[in-house]
Amino acid sequence: MSSNPSQGMPRLFQAMKDAFSLPDLRTRVLFTIGVLILFRLIAHVPLPGVNLAALADVFSKNQLLGMLDLFSGGALRNFSIAAMGVYPYITATIIMTILVPVIPKLQALSMEGESGRNKINMISHWLTIPLGALEAYGQLTYLRSQGVIGDTAVLPMITMITAMVAGTVLLIWLGELITEHGIGNGISIIIFGGIVASYPQLISQAGLVGGGNVVGLVFFGLILLATVVMIVYFTEAHRRVPVHYAKSVFRGGKMYKQSGATHIPLRVNTAGMIPLIFAMSLVLFPGIVATYFMARGSDAPNFANTIYNWFSPNTALPVGIFYWALYFLLTIGFAFFYTYIIFQQQDLPGTLQKQGGFIPGIRPGSQTKKYLDTVIGHITWAGALFLGLVAVVPFLIQIITGIHLQFSSMGLIIVVGVVLDTMKQLEAQLVMRRYEGFIK
């Protein structure tokens, strides 16, 4: 495996310094920062008719909402028009990724190059609207049952759902503006901004600053640093599979044979953070449903309260072990599942055969497919175990340091991944300008 995480931050700072020396890149960076500021302003525009005091009380009693609020950057806690963030679009994208190899028409579209990918992306945009409306209705229904919003008629409910969906669409549009006129993947940058914005409140709530738990704070910092290093290493790690190309070129009335060698970089963590999203969604779902039927106030706990405790990340030991063990196993399972889907869509054996490439010592066709499947299966074990370990980092922090906080390792993976991706895109822009003679 190959990886070089040691020079990440110095390279980023140097790239930012070089970027600000060029007017066009400086404009792109400042545009990205400006859109992020606008996103944070939108996240504080509340929906009308929301009882903020009752909402704060609900958050203090429901730890699952606090976990979901982490990814909205506080927009859910404020119940703003951006309470759903861009996650309905992420869900739509994941659904389309799964459906493409299953539905022949979508599979045919994916093979049409850029135009086909644009059509699939457009379908994802349209699918975002009903998914967002469904999620908004679920959130409003739950908050109405908790007294956060009053009993609303059909028209006010439709208005609130429309406002929430419009907020999501607005964030998607801002993200695409960043992709076009800024630096980095816009949707990822929006998610990054929401997660980072929630960290100061998270730290203050956990009492990490001025709390007196110096030993716990030191251990927390060390574990967090080790986790970041591990994320960088496995994000960049890949297995190089050697490939040779042999082709014939007709030149000067004669046929010449040419050959070349390169490699296929198979990523150890091909699935990225998608398995964590799948696993978290599945393991949180029973607890979220249980909140609708739980006993309230001084009433005796019912079966729904038990389900909520079993599927809550903040339940005390030993019951809490069930949640984290299930999360760990589901993450590993989804890592293999999603990697298999992505690998099948790439069709590397077919691409190699069309381009006249072959792996030394392996026959083209079915033998190449079998070999690549074996390699990707072996390295995915490392990536899956890495994701599973990162998934339970909050649990390990709680055991080792005694610090109890709504920390999401998935959010940390997103933050580190976005920083690395943005750094690569910034460096690519700088390399292009050095080649064109703008930088000396």
Q: Could you tell me what percent of the chain has a pLDDT over 90?
A: 10
| pLDDT at position 9 over 70 | no
Are residues 177 and 226 both part of a single domain? no
CA-CA distance, 45 to 167, in Å (whole number)?
10
Examine residue 425 and state whether it is found in any structural domain, yes or no: no
Question: Between the CA of residue 125 and those of 132, 133, 137, 184, 416, what are the distances in Å?
Answer: 11, 13, 19, 20, 26
Examine residue 430 and state whether it is found in any structural domain, yes or no: no
Q: Any idea what DSSP says for residue 136? A: H
The enclosing H or E element of 241 equals strand 238-251
Structure confidence at residue 440 (pLDDT): 46
76 φ, ψ (degrees, to nearest 5)? -75, -40
Structure confidence at residue 329 (pLDDT): 92
Examine residue 411 and state whether it is found in any structural domain, yes or no: no
Q: What tens digit of pLDDT does each residue of 367-391 get?
A: 888 888 888 889 999 989 998 988 8
Are residues 27 and 92 both part of a single domain? yes
Are residues 289 and 182 both part of a single domain? no
Are residues 193 and 229 both part of a single domain? no
Number of domains present in the structure of the chain: 2
Counts of helices then strands in the chain (DSSP H, E): 18, 3
Domain boundary among 180, 205, 230: 205
Contact call for residues 384 and 331 (beta carbons, < 8 A)? yes
Domain boundary among 149, 175, 205: 205
CA-CA distance, 208 to 200, in Å (whole number)?
10
Structure confidence at residue 130 (pLDDT): 94
Examine residue 252 and state whether it is found in any structural domain, yes or no: yes
Q: Which structural domain range is residue 283 located in? A: 209-404
Q: Which of 318, 344, 327 minimizes the C-alpha distance to 387? A: 327
Name the residue with higher pLDDT: 78 or 3: 78
Q: Could you tell me what percent of the chain has a pLDDT over 70?
A: 80
Are residues 69 and 179 both part of a single domain? yes
Structure confidence at residue 34 (pLDDT): 93
| pLDDT at position 136 over 50 | yes
Range picked from 23-32, 251-260, 272-281, 403-412 for highest mean pLDDT? 23-32
> Confidence band (pLDDT; 50, 70, 90) for 169?
very high
Q: Which of 69, 12, 433, 401 minimizes the C-alpha distance to 214? A: 401
Examine residue 416 and state whether it is found in any structural domain, yes or no: no
Are residues 187 and 287 both part of a single domain? no
Examine residue 230 and state whether it is found in any structural domain, yes or no: yes
Q: What tens digit of pLDDT does each residue of 333-348 get?
A: 989 988 888 887 777 8
Examine residue 18 and state whether it is found in any structural domain, yes or no: yes
Are residues 232 and 364 both part of a single domain? yes
Are residues 262 and 354 both part of a single domain? yes
| pLDDT at position 79 over 50 | yes
Sign of the C-alpha dihedral, residues 389, 393, 398, 404?
negative
| pLDDT at position 219 over 70 | yes
Q: Where is average pLDDT lowest: 14-23, 162-171, 277-286, 419-428?
A: 14-23
Q: Between vectors from CA 114 to CA 24 and to CA 415, what angle results, nearest 5°?
A: 55
Are residues 239 and 279 both part of a single domain? yes
Structure confidence at residue 177 (pLDDT): 93
Are residues 345 and 286 both part of a single domain? yes
CA-CA distance, 286 to 308, in Å (whole number)?
7
For 20-56, the DSSP string reads HTSHHHHHHHHHHHHHHHHHHHHTT-BPTTB-HHHHH
Are residues 39 and 79 both part of a single domain? yes
Q: What tens digit of pLDDT does each residue of 103-117 get?
A: 888 888 877 777 888
Q: For residue 280, what is the domain's CATH number?
A: 1.10.3370.10
Q: Where is average pLDDT lowest: 109-118, 175-184, 204-213?
A: 204-213
| pLDDT at position 165 over 90 | yes
3-state secondary structure of 334: helix
| pLDDT at position 127 over 90 | yes
CA-CA distance, 81 to 362, in Å (whole number)?
56
Domain boundary among 205, 221, 237: 205
Examine residue 429 and state whether it is found in any structural domain, yes or no: no
247 φ, ψ (degrees, to nearest 5)? -145, 160
Range picked from 64-68, 148-152, 265-269, 295-299 for highest mean pLDDT? 265-269
Structure confidence at residue 349 (pLDDT): 81
Name the residue with higher pLDDT: 364 or 251: 364
Structure confidence at residue 391 (pLDDT): 85
Are residues 199 and 220 both part of a single domain? no
Q: Which residues contact 303 (CB under 8 A, 6 or more apart)?
A: none
Structure tokens at 368: 């190449």
- How many Cα neighbours within 13 Å face the side chain of 260? 6
Q: Where is average pLDDT lowest: 160-174, 201-215, 392-406?
A: 201-215
Q: Write down the mean pLDDT value for the chain.
A: 79
